[in-house]
Structures are given as C-alpha cells and as structure tokens.
Chains A and B, each alone.
Chain A
Amino acid sequence: MSESSEVKTFQPLGQFTLPPTPADETIRRFAGDLWRTLRRETEDPFISDDSLRVATKRKLNRIVPPPACGPLLAEMHATFDQWSRDPEPIHWMQLVVLPPCDHNHIVSTWAKQAGHTIVEAPERAVILNGSEDISLPEIEGDGVVVIPRLEDWFIRHRNGLRLLRRLLDRLAMLERHCVIGCNSWAWGYLEKIVGADLVLPVGVTLQAFDADRLFAWFTELVESGVAEGKIFRLTTTGEDIFARHSDGESANSEFLTTLAARSLGVPWVAWHLWRSSLRVAPKDNQKIAKQFPDEEALWVAQLDDFHLPKNHVSNALLALHALLLHNSLTADELSIVLPSVDESNLLVALVAAEFVERDGDAFYCSPTAYPTIRQALADAGFPLDRL
C-alpha cells in the first residue's frame, strides 16, 4: 500500500499546508485576462473545448459519483475512534474545523455512521424570534455527543451570538465526550468575537489534499464508478491524467498539482472543479476515434477561472462573506445580517454568475467558486478563515 492510500488522521489547526502552485500556473494567473486570451489564441490544443460536450449532471454523477468527501470519513474514524472509547480522556471535547462549502456534512455523516448523538442547532427562525429564555438543546447524558455545525447557530446575529455564549458556558462544564464541528470561517469569527478558543480545545483539521492525495482518491473513484476502463485525457495535450509509472506513482501529475493548488487543498472543492472540467466527445468525432481506437476517452478541459461581476463588488463580497460564515442563508436571513438596504437582485446575479448555489430557499457559496471568493475577500481586506 502506498503512503497516499494509507488512512491519515486529522492534524492540529495551524498545520494545514496549502499545496504548492506550479510556477507556470502562478505566472498565468498573475498575467490576467489579456495574457490568458493571447495564450489561448496562440496555443494549439490537442482537441478544442468547443468540439466537446459538457456532461450532464446525471452522467457526471455516474462517472464520478458523490460524495465529495473522499477518505475523510475514514480519517475521522481513525482520529476519534480511540478517544471516543476512552472513559476518562484528557479532553472531553474535540473541535473539528473544516473548510467551508462542505455539502456532505462530514461531521454529521461520521456521527451517524458511528452511532453518536447529534445535537442540531435550533431553527434560525426560533433564534431570531427568541429572547433570553430560548432553551438550549439537551447535551447531558452518556456516549459521544456531536454538535456538527456551530455556524448553523446564526452566529452573526445578536440572538445567535447570545445563544452561542450560553452553549459555550454549558460545554465548559460538560464531562462527556463531545465533538464540535465548525467551518473555518465561522471558527475564525468565533475565536475573536466570543473567545471560543478559550473554552474549546485546539481544533483538528484535515490534511490538505495535494496532487498525490487527489491522485489516490480520484483513481479509486473512477475505478469504482461506471468510468472504469475510461481514459481521462487532457484536452490540451491528450495525456492521460491517471497514467502511472511502473512503480504505481502518478506519471502525469501536472494537472492534479494545479488542481490541488487551485482548490486550496480542499477535497470537495477539487472534486467539484474536476467534475466541472469533464467533457464528453461527440459520437461522430472521427479524429478521436482514429487516434484512440480501442478506448473510450473522457476529456478534461482547462480549469475555469471565475470573475466577480464588476458592478456592486463590495456588496457582493459582503453577501459572500456572510454566506461563508453561516454555511447557508435564506434571502431574508441574509438581509438581516447584511448592512445594505439596496441590491435586492444581488443574490440572483450571484447565482447567475455561479458564485452562489440555491437549494430550496437556502443559498450557499459554490465550491467551484470558493477559491476565487476567498481571494477576492482577501484582496478586499476581509477577515479570513484560519486552518
């Protein structure tokens, strides 16, 4: 078993190392739109993206099936298994800080798989209408209790903040195995605003998904899905991105290295970016059939660059920042936590630009746009997350 396929454990906060960006990718991104445009014009791709079809969501789900959390569930088991069976642990609480845009609810899923008690946050409507006497969920008892998402407690509202302080006070006195999940943006906020780091122990987080980890995970994914036997070729060079050397190591990791850097080491961001780059060749494409007669190729296009709409950028960033802090918000909830009194069509524009996705009434940041959002927030001086 290679090192990359071993089950890793989570690591303490502060040790999350961003995967390195290849030099040419760095130059390419710095050069800006004009340079990119010129480069594309002068390049002669192996196969033009225009001649390929974008795969449907149903087809993508068959080729690269969800969930997008990869080996993280196994890693959580490996991290907390021994601790959860210790009757008198050094720390009764464990804090898990994960990057945002986790639509797989990893901590909840792990808790369900392990049979732990899950304590969900009160409904946001209850928090909004609540006063001092709003009751906290019951957390006393035996076994492991899991509070999967602190960001669900409507933390950037006065009522939510007050409720969260009461929860932290209760947790400080709790002598029960307790795992608390929180996304990195919400944790960065709670650390400073309510001093949550004084109550909760040092958090743990996943190890960044670099090219090797992505290679191991994606290889396992494609070999277990209906894509088994298909070859994933780059549209620019025609190379197989999952080709191996004789020792089993990745032969062509440039794409995966770029993907790891672009996704900031976040597995679900990498997974969504990869899926969004997959293309299907038209059935009557004779050129491909001649060159690769005995195989069915899936094509991997260049990773898309996202650009914020040029107008109303500051309001858009405020909205995106609020969404990252809360994981998801309805339009009404968003208007409560935002200072702006205008821009009623802002969410619609952000959905159209694929920065925001919608699930019923809830809006949340798109994983594929997350790296761009984070960079834009950093450029604008917003307080950032910490991993």
Chain B
Amino acid sequence: MQNESSEAIDTQQATAMATNTVADGANVVGAANDVAKDAATAAANQSGKSSSKASDEAVQLINDWQDISLLQIAVIVVGVLVTIAIIRRLLPFLAERGPSQLRLYLLAAVPIIRLLLMTLAVVWIIPIVFNVTFQNFLVIAGGASVAIGFAFKDYVSSLIAGLVAVFERPYRPGDWVRIHGDYGEVQSVGLRAITIRTPADDIVTVPHLYMWQNNVSNSNDGARTLMCIADFYVHPDHDAAALRGALRDVVMTSAYLEYDKPVLVVMSEEPWGSHYKVKAYPFDMRDQFMFITDLSVRGKEAIAEIGATEVTSPYTAIEKTDSPPSMTF
C-alpha cells in the first residue's frame, strides 16, 4: 500500500515536470516568433528603401554632371573620327596602288570598319552620359520614337537603310551601279548616303532611302570586271555570217579582253537595219569605256573591210532664223 502511494507521488511529480517542460518550450517558440517578426519587419523596411532608391535612379536619365567626363568623351569622339578619317584615306590609297585583285576588298572594308568604330564609340560613350537602366531605355526609346517619327523619319530611314546596305551589300565602294538613272562608280558608302562618280566626273550623292523602293542595278556586284556592250548598226544588205565572225575577232584581239569570260556577238533585225551587239568583259572594269571605244573603232574597220555599210538615223537640222528669239516678259 505504501508502495502504491509512493508510486502515485512519483507520477504526479513526473507529470508536473512534464507540464513545466512544455510550458518552457512554448515560451521558446514564442520568443522565436517574435524574432522572426522583427526580422521580417526589418526586411520589409529595407526592401521598401531599396525600391524607393531604384525608383529614384530610374527617373534620373542622365548621370550627374560631376560624374560625366567631358574630356573622356572628347577623346573618344576625336579618336574615332581621326581613325575613320585615316581609314577613309588610307584604304582607298592602298587600293589604288596595290594589286588590282585587292582593290575591291580594301574599298569594301571602309564602310564596315567605319560602322564598327562608330558603334564602338556610341557603346563607349552612352554609359558615361546616361544612367543605363531598363526603365531609362524604355523612356528614351519612347521619346526618341516620337521625335524620330515626326522630325527625322527620312533621315533615320536612310540610316537604317545604310545599316542594311552594309550587310546586304547591294553596292560596295568600287562597284559600278545605276541608281535612279545615274550610272557611275561607288566612291564611298556612308551611313546616310552613297556617292558615285559618273563617267562625266560628276559626284552624285544618293541617299540609302532609295534602296527601299527603287531598283539598284549593279554591273559588277563585287567582281573585278563587268560586261561591256558595243553596238553596231549596219545596212541589212551584207554577209551577216562574215560580219559576225569579223566582229568576234575584233573582240578576241582587243588588248583589254578578259580571256576567261565569254564573248558574244548577237544580232537582231530592225526595220532600219541590222543591229549587232558585241558583248565581252575587260580584265579590269575601269577600262570599260576604253574597251568599248577600242571595239567600236576596230569594229568599224571590220565592217568596212567586208564591204558592209553602217546606217544612221535621219538627221533633222534645227531651223535657223535670222532674227534672235523673241522674249516675252
């Protein structure tokens, strides 16, 4: 009996101890929860401050003036401009004096190198001036698109066409092109326009914009030579086979002929006579006019040798009057 009572006492004590332990545990958990709440609150406060700071930075498009190094920008701009100027002179200089095979490659490298240098300069300068963030990009792009849309539509269109032209290569420096009726050698390919030198030694500036909606006829398309055509107009009463053979020999014996290219003599009958077209390639396209002249001169000799006669269109003389033209004001 005594033993039973003592066991009961032990059980009560144990239960009390267990109860105390649970209570202590609950206190610990409560304390931990408090710490976590404090931490969360602190983090929330910190996050709020950060987002506020980022928001402030997004609004700031341009860096502080104190942080912008105008000297650094000037050095970059001047350095790039000087390099471009040197390349624009050096590569054409080398192209003119170096082997003929390298000429077109050197000339074609000018706009590409210039584009790369200008891109490098822009990428270098932008972080110096602008506070580059995604939000700022959106702000600038939005503003720029409005300005471009209203004010610089054609100009930017030409610039974009210029970028396309550098990679699509409808024309390269050294190519002979016909654009909008102007035929000549491409002197330079700028970002906005190209300049071509016509056989009459005129410089024609053609904006890249033309490329969007007009045909660009490129006679050599990067090759060293192009087809030349000499025309002959002959009275129909002649031995056509003999003349065709003679004209072919005229081409074959030209000093300018590129042997590896085909030679064609085609003929068509017209109401006014026989039209011969002699088609061949000079070994250097810069000789194209001399080549055509050589073919024409010696072709005339060949025509005369086989007894044929060239024909001309009727010449209508302009009527002359004794009195000066009257003027009306």
Query: Are A and B subunits of one complex?
Result: yes
User: Which residue in B249, B257, B294 is a CB contact (below 8 Å) of A161?
Assistant: B249
Contacts of A158 in B (CB 8 A): 246, 249-250, 253, 298, 302
List the one stretch of A73-81, A186-194, A253-261 in contact with chain B.
Answer: A186-194
Within 8 A of A (CB), among B281-329: 283-284, 290, 293-294, 297-298, 302
Number of B residues near A (Cβ < 8 Å) is 25
Given contacts A158-B302, A381-B283, contact A193 B252 (CB under 8 A): yes
Among the listed A161, A338, A383, which residue makes an inter-chain contact with B258, where contact means beta carbons less than 8 Å apart? A383
Interface contact B283-A161, CB-CB below 8 Å: no
Is B271 among interface residues, defined by CB-CB distance under 8 A? no
Give B254 Cβ to nearest chain A Cβ, in Å. 7
The answer to whether B224 has its CB under 8 Å from any CB of chain A is yes
Q: Pick the contact of B259: A189, A338, A339 (CB < 8 A).
A: A189
* A322 near B255: Cβ-Cβ < 8 Å: yes
| Interface 0/1 of A160-190, CB less than 8 Å to B | 0110000000000000000000000000110
User: In the bound complex, do residue B294 and residue A339 qualify as a contact, i.e. CB atoms below 8 Å apart?
Assistant: yes
* CB-CB contacts below 8 Å: A315-362 with B: 318, 321-322, 337-339
Within the complex, what minimum Cβ distance (angstroms) separates A29 from chain B? 13
Which residues from chain B contact A318 at a C-beta distance below 8 Å?
255
**Interface presence of A157 (CB below 8 A):** yes
A164 to chain B, nearest CB (A): 11
B101–A192 CB distance below 8 A:
no
Taking a contact as CB atoms closer than 8 A, the residue among A192, A339, A383 that contacts B290 in the complex is A339
Chain B residues within an 8 Å CB radius of A192: 259-260
Q: Tell me if A379 counts as interface (CB < 8 A to partner B).
A: yes
A46 within 8 A of B: no
Contact residues, B71-129 vs A (CB, 8 A): 98-101
- B225, closest chain A residue (CB): A381
User: A339 to nearest B CB, angstroms?
Assistant: 4
Task: Say yes or no: A382 contacts B293, CB within 8 Å.
Answer: no
Residues of A within 8 A of B171 (CB): none
Q: Please determine whether B100 and A321 come into contact, CB atoms closer than 8 angstroms.
A: no
Provide the residues of chain B in CB contact with A272, threshold 8 Å. Answer: none
Least CB distance from B89 to A in Å reads 19
Contact present for B252 and A379 (CB under 8 Å): no
B283 nearest in chain A by CB position: A381
Q: How many Å lie between the Cα of A338 and that of B253 in the bound state?
A: 10
Check B255 against A383 for contact (C-beta < 8 Å): no
The interface on chain A, measured as residues whose beta carbon lies within 8 A of the other chain's beta carbons, has a size of 22
B249/A162 in contact, CB under 8 A: yes
Pick from B252, B283, B293: contact of A339, CB below 8 A: B293
Q: Are A380 and B284 in contact (CB under 8 A)?
A: yes
Contact A383 B259 (CB under 8 A): yes
Bound form: Cα–Cα A338–B283 in Å: 15
Closest chain B residue, CB of each to CB of A382: B283
Tell me the bound Cα distance from A48 to B169 in angstroms.
Answer: 56
Q: Indicate whether A128 reaches chain B with its CB closer than 8 angstroms.
A: no
- Complex CA gap A161/B298 in Å reads 15
In the assembled complex, which residues on chain B have CB atoms less than 8 Å from the CB atom of A337?
Answer: 253, 255
Which partner residue on chain A sits nearest B295 by CB separation?
A: A339
User: A27 an interface residue at 8 Å Cβ cutoff?
Assistant: no
Chain A nearest Cβ from B109, distance in angstroms = 19
B253 touches A378 (CB 8 A): no
Docked-complex contact B224 and A381, CB < 8 angstroms: yes
Central interface residue in A156, A321, A338, by most chain B CB within 10 Å: A156
Interface mask (B220-257 → A, CB under 8 Å = 1, otherwise 0) = 00001000000000000000000000100110111111
Within 8 A of B (CB), among A265-314: none
Q: Who on chain A is nearest to B260 by CB? A: A192
B246 partner residues in chain A, CB cutoff 8 A:
158
Interface contact A383-B283, CB-CB below 8 Å? yes
Instruction: Tell me, in angstroms, the Cα distance from A383 to B252 when the chains sit together.
Output: 13
Q: How far is the CA of A17 from the CA of B98 in the complex (A)?
A: 26
Query: What does the 1/0 interface line of B37-79 toward A look like (CB < 8 Å)?
Result: 0000000000000000000000000000000000000000000
Interface string of A372-387 (1 = CB under 8 A from B): 0000001111110000
B252 cross-chain contacts in A, Cβ below 8 A = 161, 193-194
B98: chain A residues at CB < 8 Å are 379
Interface core residue of A158, A322, A383 (most chain B CB under 10 Å): A158
Query: Which of A318, A337, A338, A339 has the largest number of chain B CB atoms within 10 A?
Result: A339
What are the residues of chain A within 8 A of B249 when measuring CB–CB? 158, 161-162
The answer to whether B256 touches A339, judged by C-beta atoms less than 8 angstroms apart, is yes
Nearest residue, chain B, Cβ from A318: B255
Closest Cβ neighbor of A188 among chain B residues: B259
Q: Is the CB of B255 within 8 A of A193?
A: no
In whole angstroms, what is the CA distance A321 to B250 when docked? 18
21 CB < 8 A contacts A-B: A156-B253, A158-B250, A158-B253, A158-B298, A158-B302, A161-B252, A161-B253, A188-B259, A189-B259, A318-B255, A339-B256, A339-B294, A379-B98, A379-B99, A379-B100, A380-B100, A380-B284, A381-B100, A381-B101, A381-B283, A383-B259
Top 4 closest pairs, chain A to chain B, by CB: A192-B259, A381-B100, A339-B294, A379-B99
Given contact pairs A156-B253, A337-B253, enumerate 4 new A-B contacts (beta carbons under 8 Å).
A158-B302, A337-B255, A339-B256, A383-B259
Binding site for B on A (CB under 8 A): 156-158, 161-162, 188-189, 192-194, 318, 321-322, 337-339, 378-383
